[in-house]
Amino acid sequence: MEVRDSVGNLLADGDGVTLIKDLKVKGAGQTLKRGTVIKSIRLTGDAQEIDCRYEGIKGLVLRAEFVRKN
């Protein structure tokens, strides 16, 4: 299965990504701003979801359409 970011780059486990849009995080009461860098992503079984960690937020799952590969 191939997972691609918003511009079509192929993503792999361990890649770093940058958010291209402000995202509200459900349950955390926090907003991740555009330009936020997320390091060391993990791919899930879904072609459009990536699992990642960010300070203070556990179990963060992002849609691949909202990120761009670094």
- Give 27-50 pLDDT, tens digit per residue: 888 999 999 999 999 999 898 999
**DSSP classification of residue 5:** -
Buried b (16+ CB within 10 A) or exposed e, 8-45: eeebeeebebebbeebeeeeeeeebeeeeebeebebee
Encoding tokens for residue 46?
């879904």
Q: How confident is the model at residue 20 (pLDDT cuts 50, 70, 90)?
A: very high
What pLDDT sits at residue 45?
87
Give me the mean pLDDT over the 11-15 stretch: 95
- Give 45-69 pLDDT, tens digit per residue: 898 999 999 988 888 999 999 999 9
Contact 50, 44 (CB under 8 A): yes
Q: What is the pLDDT of the chain when averaged over all its residues?
A: 93
